[in-house]
Structure 1
Amino acid sequence: MNLSVNKKVAYIGCLGVIGIISTEFGVIGILPQIAEYYHINIGTAGYLLSLFALTIALTGPFMVLYASRFDKKKIMLYALGLFLISNVGSAFSPPFWLLMVLRILPTILHPAFFSMAIAAAGKDASPQIQMRLTSIIIGGIALAQVTLIPFTTFIASIYAWQFSYVIQALVILFTLAILYKGLPAMPNTEEKSFKNQLSILKRPKFIAGTGLNLFLITAWFCSYSYFADYLSKAMGLTDPQISYMLLLFGVMGVISNYLAGRLLGKYMISTTLFFLAGTFLMPFAFQYVTPSFFNISLVVGFWGVMYGPCFLIGVGYMVSAAQDAKEFANSLQTSFGNLGVSLGTATGGWFISYYGIAVTPWVGIGFGLLALVMILWRAWLDRV
């Protein structure tokens, strides 16, 4: 595969990630409205995010091992098809239990999409080019946060939360058409045994990278999962103002994700330590800022910069320790990343129920410390 084809796969993969992530994380901006509509508390509404992520964590590696034997293009199409069904069904505001089922449905192939896209884009490329191409695909997470998520939150604030699902469905339908027409068939040409792929689970470097991925994402999602509720109740912002903050958060995340993609290949440890520092600094920034719109914007911008590359960092650490089983490593990154989303959301929700929404930014510090331990362990392993 030549570099131009690699880039084409990466950009189409990025477009797919935008649709997928807007479905997964777009619910964050409308959680208060969903809670009000179904007459449930915010913690219960948070299950729409945490159970989505937990299901991916539990099923992802097995589904990717199974799906890796099939044509990558077909798996990516099937994955987006499930997300389309999920969004269309959710737009009709079904009973809460059915809304939950529709949320969980596309998790079956969620990790497979990421794994297939990253593996296809990085085929026959050097490790440094692979990281840049991966940053394009993972950049879809940040782009979703700067485009669809704030836009759908803004539309939901004007009309109703159901409209966010309509918009997401249209974007995924468009992506399906681009993927179908834009990519050639990508059949599996290299049979890998399950035993060889599972062997990466015994490698200390891979274990350290997995731990970092889990704890770093957990640290961020203790607070990010309740972004809208925190800015509304603790900072006093209106719904339109929160949509602007989501836009700012996403813009800064896109910038930092791009920079991290350039730096991680050369300075993995120092780059990771820099962005990890945000989990310790962000709570103090919110604690001591005066609650004006401008000052809150500065803190949210800082939050977006520090949060932006967390998924890319996880990919970098885990795949670098498993070059011989990239698809499986990518699936584990997605699974443990979503386990972090679920654990962070559940932990944040528990603290909110006992101590109130104002405690949210402080909850992730403990997980940040655990992530620091994993970084230092990996640095030690790289030297021995």
Structure 2
Amino acid sequence: MPLALLALAIGAFGIGTTEFVIMGLMPQIADTFQVSIPTAGFLVTGYALGVVAGAPLMTALGTRISRKKMLMLLMGLFIIGNVVSALAPVFGVMLAGRIVASLAHGAFFGIGSVVAADLVAPEKKAGAIATMFTGLTLANVIGVPLGTLIGQDIGWRLTFLIVAALGVLGLLGVAKLIPEQPRPEGVRLRHEIAAFRNVQVLLAMAMTVLGFGGVFAAITYISPMMTNVAGFSESSVTWLLVLFGLGMVAGNLIGGKFADRALMPMLYVSLGGLALVLALFTVTAHHQIASAVTIFLIGGLGFATVPPLQKRVLDQAAGAPTLASAVNIGAFNLGNALSAWLGGIVIAAGLGYTAPNWVGAVLAASALVLAVVSSGLERRTVSRSRTVAGAAAAPAAATAPAATEQAAVPTHH
């Protein structure tokens, strides 16, 4: 394995940690700035919206400079954003820091995937990309729980300083280990943008927004939900996040395995299961063992949707893989922002800390409906194409016998 992949994995580890660790530290951050939990939820919403905006913008900028320089720029933004968050004197400054850090998210994974694939032989490209994404997966098993533990025992500011240090390590790794690659030639954004006129592309991204949004509706408020409803101590949130991370690992592997075999059935099962489990979470959240099992299942079913959703978008936008990849990462985070906002609304309305689970269930069920609609439209399109092809073939088939018969008639001179 090229050492350059390690640099990409470290960057992915840092990005994954800063995205998810905020959930376990929300009560502490809310106390520091004297804001409500729903208001603190804007740290999730703001980050997610930053990814949504930053993914296409940074990817477009990446077509004008070398990929190595672009990755270094992205890690620089990541470092600055986390340092600002760690040192923020008021809530608004911390929110700004989160948004700055988020600008690196989508483009790093989009451009990093291309770089990782170029570092190895053609038959090893998928493995190289998976190696980079291992950093994101491990962040949810190791980085997020440790960051939560440090934040609760010592202080949340230290957590963000450590994440910034990971960014410095990733930046140095990119500068030292990744070879210089020329600026991409012949890239035309208008060609890639044209792919988004395809209704199937839009439906696929809508499924991404709603499907993964269901996960974040519950997980954004997991810390206050588990401490105030299930009766866990604050320190227990750490191992609950480990369970969620382990579920993510399992779900990602299962989703990746079956997405190539039966993509739409995999989406039906994962989205339907996710909607059901989120609805049940309103009940199981009152019991410690049941809630722990449910958190694992949410991580598993939620991330089982990621490979098929990503592949669905790329299949439907075959002419625009780079931009589609970055925009779909933005779509995941748009779902995060939407669900965090809606979850905050239902909590602020006095419906309780379990109310966001109903929000998540409705979002996941809506994604399932879109999956069925998308599949139906696809079948109709295929059927129409076959009908047109058959109609075109019929005259040719009718003409052939007539021509043969005419040729068989004797000609008299």
TM-score (norm 2): 0.84
User: Is 2:355 aligned against 1:359?
Assistant: yes
How big is the shift at 1:94? 2.1
Distance 1:9 1:327, change over 3 A: farther
Cα separation, 1, equivalents of 2:367 and 2:121: 28
Distance 1:377 1:121, change over 3 A: farther
Distance 1:109 1:152, change over 3 A: closer
C-alpha distance after superposition, 1:345-373 (max 9, x if no partner): 10111111111212121111221122112
Q: Which residue number corresponds to residue 100 of structure 2?
A: 105
Kindly report which structure 2 residues correspond to 1:35-114, keeping only aligned pairs within 5 A, or say none: 35-114=30-109
Cα separation, 1, equivalents of 2:285 and 2:90: 41
Distance 1:69 1:19, change over 3 A: same
Which of the residues 351, 366, 370 maps onto 2:366?
370
Name the aligned partner's letter for residue 16 of structure 1. G
Distance 1:64 1:39, change over 3 A: same
Q: Which residue number corresponds to residue 208 of structure 1?
A: 203
Give the gaps of 5 or more residues in structure 2: 383-413
How big is the shift at 1:61? 1.5
Distance 1:310 1:175, change over 3 A: farther
Which of the residues 326, 329, 333 maps onto 2:328?
333
Kindly report which structure 2 residues correspond to 1:183-262, keeping only aligned pairs within 5 A, or say none: 183-262=178-257
Cα separation, 1, equivalents of 2:262 and 2:67: 31
User: Is 2:375 aligned against 1:379?
Assistant: yes
Cα separation, 1, equivalents of 2:271 and 2:166: 32
Q: How many residues align?
A: 379
C-alpha distance after superposition, 1:6-58 (max 9, x if no partner): xx666543332221121122111111111111111011111111012113223
Distance 1:289 1:373, change over 3 A: closer
Bigger radius of gyration: 2
Cα separation, 1, equivalents of 2:271 and 2:340: 19
Which is further off, 349-358 or 10-19? Answer: 10-19
C-alpha distance after superposition, 1:309-358 (max 9, x if no partner): 44434322211222332111012112222111110110111111111212
Which is further off, 336-345 or 53-62? Answer: 53-62
Give the gaps of 5 or more residues in structure 1: none
Cα separation, 2, equivalents of 1:58 and 1:189: 22
Q: Which residue number corresponds to residue 273 of structure 2?
A: 278
Cα separation, 2, equivalents of 1:289 and 1:39: 30
Which is further off, 356-365 or 284-293? Answer: 284-293
Which is further off, 372-381 or 17-26? Answer: 372-381
Cα separation, 1, equivalents of 2:261 and 2:328: 21
Contact conserved, 2:14 with 2:139, CA < 8 A, in 1?
A: yes
Name the aligned partner's letter for residue 197 of structure 2. K
CA RMSD of aligned residues (A): 2.5
Cα separation, 2, equivalents of 1:188 and 1:288: 54
Which is further off, 198-207 or 177-186? Answer: 177-186
How big is the shift at 1:291? 4.6
Kindly report which structure 2 residues correspond to 1:311-326, keeping only aligned pairs within 5 A, or say none: 311-326=306-321
Cα separation, 1, equivalents of 2:229 and 2:244: 18
How big is the shift at 1:290? 8.0
Name the aligned partner's letter for residue 239 of structure 1. E
Contact conserved, 2:77 with 2:100, CA < 8 A, in 1?
A: yes
User: Is 2:161 aligned against 1:180?
Assistant: no
Which is further off, 120-129 or 190-199? Answer: 120-129
Distance 1:55 1:290, change over 3 A: closer
Contact conserved, 2:243 with 2:296, CA < 8 A, in 1?
A: yes
Cα separation, 1, equivalents of 2:245 and 2:214: 18
How big is the shift at 1:284? 4.3
How big is the shift at 1:138? 4.1
Contact conserved, 1:230 with 1:360, CA < 8 A, in 2?
A: no
Name the aligned partner's letter for residue 379 of structure 1. S
How big is the shift at 1:247? 0.9
Q: Which residue number corresponds to residue 16 of structure 2?
A: 21
Cα separation, 2, equivalents of 1:203 and 1:9: 36
